[in-house]
Amino acid sequence: MNTSHFPISPAKRMQHLPSQFFAGLVRKANAQIAQGHDVINLGQGNPDMPTPSHIVSKLQEAATNPLYHKYPPFSGYSFLKEAIASRYKADYNVDLDPETEVAILFGGKTGLVEISQCLLDPGDVCLVPDPGYPDYWSGVALSGAEMVTMPLKADHAFLPDYSALSVSALERAKLMFINYPNNPTGAVADRGFYEETVRFAEKNGIVVASDFAYGAIGFDGHRPVSFLETPGAKEVGVEFYTLSKTYNMAGWRVGFALGNKEVIRLINLMQDHYYVSLFGGIQAAAAEALTASQVCVTELVGVYEQRRNALYGALGRIGWDAKPSPGSFFTWLPVPNGHTSVSFADLLLQEAKVVVAPGVGFGAHGEGYVRVGLLAPEARLEEAAERIGRLGLFG
């Protein structure tokens, strides 16, 4: 049968998905690499170091266990939920019930998309940071709800100003995303901000989704604060945690939603219809990561801090003035006069063979900045700055 003209009509939700801005960035970078150029790619958020060996060894051992060759429990093994609860108690003094306040996710991104589908209907509003992680937008689009942005500006420490939100938006808002340490700005939040957030959420009946993906990565002696440390946080929201950054386990796809029991129930219910949880061997390895010595985490943060210092030292030498980022493995750098974030990023790729992420890809208020990842050795970060310096853009 000739099916070449058979009509395939996508659902409307597929037509409303946001475009993948960074797919174009990858294509441009790959084109330069294909031409034989030595490209320094600092535009993506993919950890560049391997998973610690003791975690890999645990997976190798667990893979031979016949128990894990069967379907796991739908909501995951209790030992993994207990491990994340123990880690939060040790690191943040937060008490979590492993069975009712923890949901295992196929990576943090999955939960960040799912929560919008669990809580939002068409006509509802979701408050999203601008600039912010683009996959927040994806979940809102799939739910059919609307987004209202919360601008993150340098003069407000890249924190949202809740007083600037309109009454009409707050009347329809049911969900909000916050993310500290922040992607893309590298900003951090203190306890006072989270206390304000809990009060704001209680007053307006808005569920808080705290994206804590970079929760382990704070510099200059600063330990990032968890939203769940705040009194009342579990009454108004959940936190999303991932092993991707803390343990260099991005490809393993292990994350968690933590906090409010009803939101956790809804996430688990939705996942019952999508998945049968993670491969048991990966769950065993993830539990090993969470319960074994955390020296590997301390060492990793030390590497990122050394890289940050090397990069900012090199930026200073070329006259690119920027305030060092206090957290995450990203830096948020202002573009020179006469450029947009896209034109500047294109120029750096074409002329310096350095990939950076244009700020506008994270939202309208990202214009005027580029995001640079600390995801290359110090020497390569310094070389990237030197290449940029040779363009003579900074006086």
Architecture of domain 53-291: 3-Layer(aba) Sandwich (3.40)
- Please tell me the predicted confidence (pLDDT) of residue 2: 57
Confidence category of residue 245, pLDDT binned at 50, 70, 90: very high
Rounded to the nearest 10 degrees, how much is the dihedral formed by the CA atoms of 40, 335, 358, 190?
100
Mean pLDDT, rounded, of the chain: 96
Q: Which residues contact 371 (CB under 8 A, 6 or more apart)?
A: 43, 183, 184, 330, 331, 332, 333, 356, 357, 359, 362
Q: What is the pTM of this model?
A: 0.95
Query: Given the DSSP bridges, would you call strands 40-41 and 354-355 parallel, antiparallel or unpaired?
Result: parallel
**The CATH number, out of the four listed (3.90.1150.10, 3.40.50.300, 3.40.50.970, 3.40.50.1820), of the domain defined by the range 13-50+296-389:** 3.90.1150.10
Mean predicted confidence (pLDDT) in 343-371: 97
pLDDT digits (tens, 9 = 90+) for 347-358: 999 999 999 999
Would the pLDDT of 71 be above 80?
yes
pLDDT digits (tens, 9 = 90+) for 193-240: 999 999 999 999 999 999 999 999 999 999 999 999 999 999 999 999
pLDDT digits (tens, 9 = 90+) for 318-335: 999 999 999 999 999 999
| Tokens encoding 137 | 């937008």
Would the pLDDT of 23 be above 90?
no
Boundaries of every domain in the chain? 13-50+296-389, 53-291
Would the pLDDT of 395 be above 80?
no
* Sequential DSSP letters for 362-389: G-GGGTTEEEEE--S-HHHHHHHHHHHH
Would the pLDDT of 31 be above 80?
yes
Would the pLDDT of 132 be above 70?
yes
Q: Residue 241 belongs to what H/E stretch?
A: strand 237-242
Question: From CA 54, how far away is CA 299, in angstroms rounded?
Answer: 15
